Structure 1
Amino acid sequence: MDSNSGMLTKMGRKENPQNYADKDGHLKPVLGLKDMVAMGVGTVVGAGVFTIPGIVAADYAGPAVVISFIVAAVVAGLSALSYSELASAMPFAGSIYSWANVIFGEFMGWVAGWAVLSEYLIALAFVSSAWSSYFQGFIGSFGINIPTAISGSFNPGTGQYIDLFGALALIGVGLLVFRGMKAAAIVENWLVVLKIAVIVLFIVVGLTAVQASNWVPFIPEHVPGTNFGGGIGILHGASQVFFAYIGFDTIAANSAEVKNPQKTMPRAIIGTLVIATILFVGVAAVLTGMFPYHVYKGNAEPAAWALREVGHYFTANLLSVVALVGMFTGLIALMVGGSRLLYSFGRDGLISRKMGKLDKNGLPHNATWLMLVASVVLGSLFPIELLSNLVSAGTLVAFIVASLAVLVLRRRKDIVNTGYKVPGYPVIPILAALSATGLFLTLNKDALILMAGWIVIGVIVYFVYGIKHSSNDEEATS
Structure 2
Amino acid sequence: MSFLHRIMRKEDVSQYQNKDAHLERTLRVKDFLALGVGTIVSTAIFTLPGVVAADHTGPSVSLSFLVAAIVAAMVAFVYAEMATVMPFAGSAYTWISILFGEFFGWIVGWALIAEYLIAVSFVASGFSANLRGLLDPFHVTLPNALSNSLGTNGGIMDLIAAVVVVITALLLSCGTSETARVQNILVVLKVLAIALFIIVGLSVVDISHYVPFIPEYHETAAGAFGGWQGIYAGSSVIFVAYIGFDSIAANSGEAINPQKTMPRGILGSLLIAVTLFIVVALVLVGMFDYSAYKDNAEPVGWALRMSGHGTVAVIVQAISVIGMFTALIGMMLAGSRLLYSFGRDGILPSWLGKLNNKNLPNRALIVLSIVAVIIGSVFPFGFLAQLISAGALVAFMFVTIGIYALRKREGKDLPLPAFKLPLYPVMPIIIFVCVFAVFWGLSGQAKVYTLIWFIIGIVYYLFYIFKTRKQ
Asked if Structure 1 and Structure 2 have the same fold, meaning a TM-score greater than 0.5 normalized by the shorter chain, the answer is yes
Equivalent residues in 2 for 1:184-333, closer than 5 Å? 184-224=179-219, 226-333=223-330
Which of these residues, 344, 355, 363, is aligned with residue 347 of structure 1? 344
Quote the Cα distance in structure 2 between the aligned partners of 1:217 and 1:367. Answer: 49
Deviations 1:41-88 (A, max 9, x none): 111000000000010000001111101001001000111000000000
Partner of 1:444: 443
Say which SS state the counterpart of residue 244 (structure 2) adopts.
helix
- Structure 1 CA distance for aligned equivalents of residues 231 and 303 of structure 2: 23
Structure 1: distance between partners of 2:216 and 2:342: 47
Amino acid corresponding to residue 420 of structure 2 in structure 1? K
- Measured after TM superposition, the shift of residue 383 of structure 1 is 3.1
Amino acid across the alignment from 2:297: A
Offset from partner CA, 1:336-374 (integer Å, 9 cap, x none): 000000000001000000001111111111111111111
Other structure's SS at 1:227 match = strand
- Report the residue type matching 1:217 in the other structure: P
Quote the Cα distance in structure 1 between the aligned partners of 2:443 and 2:270.
Answer: 25
SS of corresponding position for 2:191: helix
The Cα shift of 1:40 comes to 0.6
Q: Which residue of 2 aligns with 1:29?
A: 25
Aligned residue number for residue 476 of structure 1: none
Match of 1:399, SS? helix
Query: Deviation string for 1:96-115 (max 9, x for gaps)?
Result: 00000001110000000100
Task: Report the alpha carbon displacement of residue 417 of structure 1 after superposing the two structures with TM.
Answer: 2.1
User: How far is 1:385 from its partner?
Assistant: 3.8
Question: Percent identity between the aligned chains?
Answer: 47
Query: Alpha carbon RMSD of aligned pairs, Å?
Result: 1.4
| CA distance, structure 2, for counterparts of residue 341 and residue 247 of structure 1 | 14
Aligned residue number for residue 94 of structure 1: 90
1:300-449 equivalent positions in 2, closer than 5 A? 300-412=297-409, 413-449=412-448
Q: Deviation at 1:134?
A: 1.2
Counterpart in the other structure of 2:103: 107
1:399 Cα deviation (Å)?
1.4
Q: CA deviation at 1:160?
A: 1.6
Say if 1:245 and 1:395, in contact at 8 Å, map to a contact too: no
Q: Tell me the amino acid that sits aligned with residue 365 of structure 1.
A: N
Which residue does the alignment assign to 2:56?
A: 60
Structure 1 CA distance, aligned partners of 2:157 and 2:439?
32
What is the rounded CA distance, in whole Å, between the counterparts of 2:420 and 2:133 in structure 1? 46
Aligned to 1:46: 42
Match of 1:122 among 113, 118, 125: 118
1:142 matched residue in structure 2: 138
Deviation at 1:467, TM superposition (A): 6.1
Partners of 1:365 and 1:159 lie apart in 2 by: 35
1:224–1:176 distance in 2 versus 1, CA, 3 Å: closer
Contact 1:62 1:220 in 2 (8 A): yes
Residue in structure 2 matching 1:78, options 71, 74, 95: 74
Contact 1:119 1:246 in 2 (8 A): no
Alignment gaps of 5+ in structure 2: none
**Residue correspondences, number:** 466
Distance 1:384 1:47 in 2: 11
- CA shift digits 1:116-143 (9 cap, x unpaired): 1111111111111111111112111111
Q: Secondary structure at the match of 1:320?
A: helix
Match of 2:173 among 174, 178, 190: 178
Instruction: Encode CA deviations 1:117-176: one digit per residue, 9 max, x unaligned.
Output: 111111111111111111112111111221222111112x74321111110000000000
CA distance in 1, matches of 2:216, 2:153: 35
Query: Contact (CA 8 Å) 1:11, 1:467: kept in 2 or not?
Result: no
What is the one-letter code of the residue matched to 1:454? W
Is the 2:81–2:417 contact (alpha carbons within 8 Å) kept by the matching residues of 1?
no
> Normalised by the size of structure 2, how large is the TM-score?
0.97
Retained in 2: the 8 A contact 1:66–1:285?
yes
